[in-house]
Chains A and B, each alone.
Chain A
């Protein structure tokens, strides 16, 4: 045994990780020798660590007397620093608008050069502004969105730690990587999205432990899991995010995540589960503040009700939706509504109105040169024609859609299914099931 006993304070510092390497080693070797007195002291300190870890399992005693604890003084001391930080950030956020405008005047490579070489672009405010701008454009222009977020990553890497603190800067860098992963997912670059999320995890683990940053990353990882059809993983990721949002009182984010989870189940062909989460999310969503999100969720709910066999309810909900579509939806969304209506009517075997709705939707998509959507509607029509024993129309549709899908990048199996459908149509051997399976495969291939 190495017999020089460490001081009691040193043993405490050892357990709390406050010692340098050499002292650590000395104490480890001493304890290894089995000194009973030092082990007793260490056990006491270790007990505090265990108590601290166990504390998460019990509620905070709201009546506990904290007056003598000295924590009140701690709170007072940090108030002043937080106030100064708030003022500094306000200034930076105000400046970020003009910095963004300045950057936008240059081509992307020059923007990168400016950010990499000029300190005035290395601000927290500009990084936030770039992230928000990129995120806002993710569906309208995914390529521009990606450029914005990549620029935000560059800025985040240059935000000075000495001004903001290491932990917070890691949080910001982690956030930028989370958004980068999401932007890459939107552009279907799944491998690089995964890499960005991995970097985000590492950075956030080195950050302040902000639970909302973690929840955001979990949500984005959930989106990626859905996109790559890892449906066994996605609900768990959303559940972890939901737990954090509930603890933090983030009702809006909680509602959105419930809708995300519902969408995941819908994509996984589990419409009944999807209905549960979409309805729960809609109940919690502020539909006045977020009318478009609410409309999209209601649309998905109608799709899932129909897919889970609740056709009458789906039709009733769709009728309730129509005014919102007129109010908010552009003509393209109204076409999608008409398509959905045709699908529901076909499920109810109301042949004539179903055919009318599907034909109208198909013509609308063709007029907009949206061949893929038009061909998918044509498959719904084909199912209707099979059911109503109209083989000539089925043959015609099979001949029309084959070149549309062949010209796109769909998998070999899907092309084989298309050819099989085409051949079956020639000999009048198409079944409704065959058409439905083909339509599902093509929707997935999109």
Chain B
């Protein structure tokens, strides 16, 4: 808590000086993580504003900025992955819950889903079948399949990952289910 009060001494021009010095390193991190340019600005802005917003300061602004940017880049991709899982999950749940959708469309989605589920590991097939074709909630799925209720969220997420990989045409990757 008593670390050098770097940020209190600093002003806009000092930050600008530091950033100019670090610009190649920051650019290389963004390149290394392959962050799309349109999103890189938001990421970098977040990390810089966090730095100037820390009153107690940081001991090494350079190390903090570089570590902070790496961390945010990782978070960026994780949130992309989560967003995709969520999108697929919502779409499939929605297909169940839309009675106004023409029967033929619903039938087609159900048929495609069943076909897709045959191509993922069997334990995931059971979980997702109960969720998307019978509309069971996670605690009910856990009870039916004998999973612990505290772990069913993780199991569902992993199964959803397997399904997303299938949809995205990348096939089943055993490592991703561990």
- B168 contacts A43, CB within 8 Å? yes
Please state if B10 and A86 are interface contacts (CB–CB under 8 Å): yes
A71-B168 in contact given A29-B112, A86-B15, A249-B62 (Cβ < 8 Å): no
Contacts of A14 in B (CB 8 A): 84, 87
Interface residues of B in 1-54 (CB under 8 A from A): 1-3, 7-8, 10-13, 15-16, 19-20, 23-37, 40-41, 44-54
Is A168 touching B37 in the complex (CB atoms < 8 A)?
A: no
In the assembled complex, 20 residue pairs joining A and B whose CB atoms fall closer than 8 Å, in A order, are: A21-B90, A24-B87, A28-B87, A40-B169, A45-B168, A56-B74, A60-B29, A75-B27, A79-B19, A85-B49, A87-B11, A89-B53, A89-B55, A93-B55, A164-B49, A165-B46, A249-B64, A250-B58, A253-B3, A289-B2
- Indicate whether A53 sits within 8 Å of B78 (C-beta atoms), given known contacts A42-B169, A82-B52, A212-B64: yes
Q: Assess whether A39 is in contact with B44, with CB atoms less than 8 Å apart.
A: no
A247 (CB) vs chain B CBs: closest residue: B67
Closest to B20 in A: A79
A-B CB proximity, top 6 nearest: A83-B12, A249-B63, A17-B83, A39-B169, A249-B60, A28-B91
Interchain CB contact under 8 A, A70 and B37:
yes
Measured in the bound complex, the distance between the Cα atoms of B59 and A289 in whole Å is 13
Q: Collect the chain A residues with CB atoms within 8 Å of residue B122's CB.
A: none
User: Which of B12, B16, B64, B75 has most A Cβ within 10 Å?
Assistant: B12
Report if A385 contacts B (CB, 8 A). no
Interface code A9-47, partner B: CB below 8 Å = 1, 0 otherwise? 000001111010100110011011110100110110111
B49 touching A165, Cβ below 8 Å: yes
Q: Choose the segment among A203-211, A272-280, A315-323 that binds chain B (4+ C-beta atoms closer than 8 Å).
A: A203-211
Is there a chain A Cβ closer than 8 Å to B92's Cβ? yes
Query: Chain B interface mostly helix, strand, loop or mixed?
Result: helix
* A residues near B55, Cβ cutoff 8 Å: 89, 93, 125, 128, 132
Known pairs A82-B15, A90-B11; A46 contacts B170 (CB<8 A): yes
Q: Does A252 contact B (CB under 8 A)?
A: yes
Kindly state whether residue B80 has any CB partner on chain A within 8 Å: yes
Q: Is the CB–CB distance between B75 and A72 below 8 Å?
A: no
- Nearest B residue (CB) for A11: B168
Could you give, for residues 61-101 of chain B, a 1 whenever the CB lies within 8 Å of some chain A CB and a 0 otherwise? Answer: 01110011011111111111101100110111011000000
Compute how far the CA of A253 lies from the CA of B34 in the bound complex, rounded to whole angstroms.
31
> Do A74 and B79 touch (CB < 8 A)?
no
For the complex formed, measure the closest distance between the CB of A429 and the CB atoms of chain B, giving whole angstroms.
49
In the complex, how many angstroms separate the beta carbon of A25 from the nearest chain B beta carbon? 4
Closest residue of A by beta carbon distance from B19: A79
B12 touches A84 (CB 8 A): yes
**Which B residues are within 8 Å of any A CB, using their own CB?**
1-3, 7-8, 10-13, 15-16, 19-20, 23-37, 40-41, 44-56, 58-60, 62-64, 67-68, 70-81, 83-84, 87-88, 90-92, 94-95, 105, 108-109, 112-113, 115-116, 165, 167-170
Residue A116 at the B interface, CB < 8 A? no
Interface residues on A, range: 35 or more
Can you name the residue of chain B whose Cβ is closest to the Cβ of A35?
B169
Stretch at the interface among A61-69, A257-265, A325-333, A357-365: A61-69
Q: Does A432 contact B (CB under 8 A)?
A: no
Residue of B nearest to A125 (CB): B55
> Which of A17, A25, A208 meets B72, CB within 8 Å?
A208
Whether B44 contacts A75 by the Cβ 8 Å rule is: yes
- How many whole Å from B108's CB to the nearest CB in chain A? 7
Q: Would you call A252 and B3 a contact (CB within 8 A)?
A: yes
Across the interface, which residues of A come within 8 angstroms of B31, CB to CB? Answer: 64, 66, 69, 71
**Contact of B37 with A74 in the complex, beta carbons under 8 Å:** yes
Contact yes or no, B19 A60, CB < 8 A? no
B167 touches A32 (CB 8 A): yes
